[in-house]
Structure 1
Amino acid sequence: MNAAAAVHGMSGETWKRHANPWSVWTRFAAIPAFELAVWSRQWLGWWCLAAVVAVVVWLWLNVRLFKPVAPISWAARGIYGEQLHVDGRFPAEHRRTLNWLIASGLAGFVLIAWGLIVLQVWPLTLGTVMLVLAQLWRIDRYGLLFQQHLRERAPEDTACGKQSDCR
């Protein structure tokens, strides 16, 4: 988790921007875009790398482009919960479930990779479904745990800082 956050250069401000639902949902839209970019090697040859690079650049820019938001939406609460996990401020009793969700997403990613390597639709589709469902469930779990964090802490001690800082 920390490695992915480091690659994206996630700062406090970046997390606030990434919590914007537009950021969350457009990152989901990048999954089929990336798959199509890789699959297009069949038609475009090495030029498919331009499309792959475009998707990778989008994923890096995505967490910076949208305006910061308070944790009021489902997606925003999930991202603020993810920040708690990355920062090591996450209840230990929930780690097993999150580890299973992460493992499920990784299994989906492996199927996606296999489908893209051999150009087979069924592992690509199954892997995409597994990855998306694991991500959605993980965001939901993070959101619930973020709400638990808010109930247990003073309002000033949120991942967002003071609520007014997020607007």
Structure 2
Amino acid sequence: MDITKLAEKVMAMDDESWARHANPWSVYTRFSIMPLMSLAFWSREWIGYYSLIFIGLTFAWIWINPRLFSAPKITNNWASMGTFGERIYLNRKDAPIPAHHVTPTILLQVLSGVGFPIFVYGLYSLNIWILLLGNLWVMVFKAWFVDRMVWLFLDVKDTDERYLSWIKD
């Protein structure tokens, strides 16, 4: 199964959730996930098992974030178009996307994933520099992924009335 499709199912994203996630506040605050997770897991050194509370809150934040903000009034921006492109990418089996987007998108996902073991090792070893490298690695490639999703959306927006309806000026 496609890992991104699995993530969408776990997140239980429906049309309303996607509309809310198109809010730039939702997109930009998702970049807080890695630092919050770092702090939550690192806190085991300071507060022991109580760190599980903060770890749980971080996972709750991952699920709540796309639903927390209202659907934006204006979606003609980088963050909103990134979420539109992601929706299109996730639906690529039913509505194929231009071939020149497939390989780079998969590569960006793989490269982002490479940073996760670095991140985990940094947490395990309590090595701040490795942890920071893991955070930076994952977040840079995630931002690049979002940028690629904007490009995808701009390439296909005119091919489907539904895609055009997502743009609000």
- Deviations along 1:13-38, one digit per CA (max 9) or x if unpaired, are 11111111100111111210110000
In structure 1, distance between residues paired with 2:36 and 2:7: 20
Task: Pick one of 5, 10, 15 that aligns with 1:12.
Answer: 15
TM-score normalised to the size of structure 1?
0.90
In structure 2, distance between residues paired with 1:116 and 1:163: 39
SS at match of 1:22: helix
Equivalent residues in 2 for 1:1-167, closer than 5 Å = 1-69=4-72, 70-88=74-92, 89=95, 90-151=97-158, 153-154=159-160, 156-158=161-163, 162-163=165-166
Unmatched 5+ stretches in structure 2: none
- The alpha carbon displacement at 1:157 in A equals 2.8
Pairs aligned (count): 162
In structure 1, distance between residues paired with 2:43 and 2:123: 10
Identity of aligned residues (%): 34
In structure 1, distance between residues paired with 2:36 and 2:62: 11
User: CA RMSD, aligned part only?
Assistant: 1.7
Structure 1 residue runs of 4 or more that deviate by more than 2 Å after TM superposition: 89-93, 161-164
In structure 2, distance between residues paired with 1:163 and 1:30: 26
TM-score normalised to the size of structure 2?
0.89
Question: Structure 1 residues 38, 163: closer, same or farther in 2, change over 3 A?
Answer: closer
Question: Structure 1 residues 63, 163: closer, same or farther in 2, change over 3 A?
Answer: closer
Question: Structure 1 residues 2, 107: closer, same or farther in 2, change over 3 A?
Answer: same
In structure 1, distance between residues paired with 2:149 and 2:35: 24
- The alpha carbon displacement at 1:92 in A equals 2.7
Question: Structure 1 residues 163, 137: closer, same or farther in 2, change over 3 A?
Answer: closer
Question: Structure 1 residues 163, 138: closer, same or farther in 2, change over 3 A?
Answer: closer
SS at match of 1:47: helix
Is the 1:71–1:80 Cα contact (8 Å) retained in structure 2?
no
- The alpha carbon displacement at 1:94 in A equals 1.3
- The alpha carbon displacement at 1:163 in A equals 4.2
Query: Match of 1:107, as an amino acid?
Result: V
In structure 1, distance between residues paired with 2:101 and 2:70: 30
